[in-house]
Copies of this chain bind each other. A is one copy, B any other.
Amino acid sequence: MDPISLEAMAAGVPDGAMVAMPPDNSLPAVALAKALIRRGARGLRLVGVPVSGFATDILIGAGCVAEVQTSAASLGEAGFAPRFSAAVREGSVRVLDATCPAIHTMLQASEKGVPFMPLRGVIGSDLVPHRPDWRVVPNPFAEAGEDPILLLPALRPDFGAFHAAMADSHGNVWVGRRRECATIAHASARCLVTVERVVEGDFLLDERLAPGAISATYVTAVAVAERGAHPAAMLDEYAADPAYVAEYARMARTAEGFRAWLEREALNRPALAAE
């Protein structure tokens, strides 16, 4: 599998696509998010697995997003996600609120090829009446009484997208212990992976590397994007950049400030690998 350019990868995501992404603590494809902004993507339906962070906020701010399904949106230490909050206030983005294990469960149902999967808890939360696609049914295995239990429908995003440490010659990618990226890859129809580098060999032939690998079977395309998770951390390869996020949080408090940030950090600065 030959890597494609970051801009070509972004061009392959059509307007309106549902895209599942991990949050800031789990290999977000931030460089790809910036490329999607440069390509002027519109109407994206984002899924935070299980929550949303920096990449989601900049995509919302840039007007790329019609819907966010997530359990929370936040910049972590830097506070609330400013463009997400503004969009909720304005009603300009449809928010499908969930709770973390429900997102995992909906993706696991898709991973397993079943139409739904049950989850304990959640009953009594106002999430349930706001999710007409969720059902509460009596547990068919309950010995006595009703024992209501939540059933969640399978969620099959059009795309999964994340940033891996590396790809090998065969298109296998390595994410280490961030196995939610594997769930994203399995559950999504197509999977786009940005990587720090491409290395020779086959991760699946190495007993030490295989456990942290995702087979090329699930990978639609790979693009090299050095520091592609920045300002999020990349396993033990680079740390998070809280100063960058804090500056973003400050500037993005207003639409104008966000615009200025976007000009400087995304529109006028394509990733190295894309040039």
Interchain CB contact under 8 A, B113 and A120: yes
Interchain CB contact under 8 A, B116 and A140: yes
Is A135 located at the chain interface by the 8 A CB criterion? yes
Is A16 located at the chain interface by the 8 A CB criterion? no
Is A151 located at the chain interface by the 8 A CB criterion? yes
Question: Which segment, of A190-198, A204-212, A221-229, faces chain B?
Answer: A204-212
Contact-size category for A: 20 to 34
> How far, in whole Å, are A113 and B114 apart by their CA atoms in the complex?
18
Interface string of A109-127 (1 = CB under 8 A from B): 0001111111110000000
Interchain CB contact under 8 A, B211 and A177: yes
From B149, B153, B177, B209, A210 is in contact (CB under 8 Å) with B177
User: Which residues of chain B are within 8 angstroms of A235 by Cβ–Cβ distance?
Assistant: 207
Interchain CB contact under 8 A, A236 and B212: no
User: Which residues of chain B are within 8 angstroms of A151 by Cβ–Cβ distance?
Assistant: 140-141
From B116, B120, B149, B208, A212 is in contact (CB under 8 Å) with B208
Least CB separation from A208: chain B residue: B208
Also in contact, A177 and B207, with CB within 8 A (given A135-B141, A141-B153)? yes
Interchain CB contact under 8 A, B176 and A210: yes
Interchain CB contact under 8 A, A117 and B120: no
For window 119-178 of A, CB contacts with B under 8 Å fall at: 119-120, 135, 137, 139-142, 147, 149, 151, 153, 176-177
Least CB separation from A151: chain B residue: B140
Interchain CB contact under 8 A, B149 and A140: no
Interchain CB contact under 8 A, B141 and A116: yes
Which A-B residue pairs are the 10 nearest by beta carbons? A211-B212, A211-B211, A177-B210, A114-B118, A177-B211, A207-B236, A207-B235, A176-B207, A115-B141, A116-B141
17 contacts between A and B (CB under 8 A): A112-B119, A114-B118, A114-B119, A115-B118, A115-B139, A115-B147, A116-B139, A117-B118, A137-B140, A140-B151, A176-B207, A176-B210, A177-B207, A207-B212, A207-B235, A207-B236, A212-B212
